Amino acid sequence: IGLTLVPGSKQVRANPTWESSRLHKWNEANLDQEVTDAYFLTEINGTSGTARSMFSALEKDSRLEFVRPLSEKELYERVLAILKAAETDGVEASGLRLGRLFDLNRNTHELYLKDEELGPSAAQTLAFALKSNTTISSLCLDKNAVGPEGGLALAEALECNSYLRELHLYGTKLGAIGGQALLGALRPGRNTTLEVLNVGNCQLGPEGGWAVAAALASGACPLQALRIQSN
């Protein structure tokens, strides 16, 4: 397939070949549809591995603003791949990519990532994406090594996010610092929409207990269910 990528722009121009001109005729104005159509053509017609690699690279390029719609399984695999590469690729770049993925797959409202061997960088990446998220309402990171750094990042995200309703962090080693930050984000004037928080077995310690008391003291805490067992 003869397509020319112009880095840093939204243009994919068709070269004067039969195959690319057919794509161009299908939808000259709509970049997302043009590239998606081309992707499926490569799958259907068995186009060369080079062409498939090119489209794969286009989908993953953080400078571009499109990702083809994914099935639930594909989305889960893509999210996991982004999170596991976050330490190498950088939290901000990975977070932008993840946020775009959520925006373009708006029928997915729950992320279940229990026990996936994710670390602080993955949690920070999710937090970056959640700051502007309007699709994910339930996130489960149970039994991942989120740690205090991840807890701090998620707390910051909660103060910006008004869509997340459930956050499950059982056994994520938040420690006192991460736990205090998360619970502090639920004080009056901060997050007003989180309804379920599970921070059981997170090594919160006595400081975590004080943070729970402070969050609940005003009576304005949005939580309907708070799980703090085994701390």
Report the CATH number that the domain containing residue 99 is assigned in CATH.
3.80.10.10
Averaged pLDDT of the chain: 80
Q: What is the pLDDT of residue 219?
A: 82
Q: Which tens digit of pLDDT belongs to each residue from 89-106?
A: 999 999 999 998 998 888
Q: What is the pLDDT of residue 70?
A: 81
Residues 104 and 178 in one domain: yes
Are 183 and 223 a contacting pair, CB within 8 Å? no
Q: Which tens digit of pLDDT belongs to each residue from 184-218?
A: 999 888 999 999 999 999 999 999 889 999 888 87
Determine the residue type at 42: T
Residues 55 and 107 in one domain: no
- Give the total number of structural domains in the chain: 2
Are 159 and 182 a contacting pair, CB within 8 Å? no
The boundaries of the domain holding residue 92 are 81-227
Identify whether 122 is part of a domain: yes
Are 115 and 140 a contacting pair, CB within 8 Å? no
Residues 98 and 75: their CA atoms lie apart, in Å, by: 10
Residues 91 and 181 in one domain: yes
Please provide residue 154's backbone torsions phi and psi, each rounded to the nearest 5 degrees. -65, -35
Residue that finishes a domain, picked among 28, 60, 92: 60
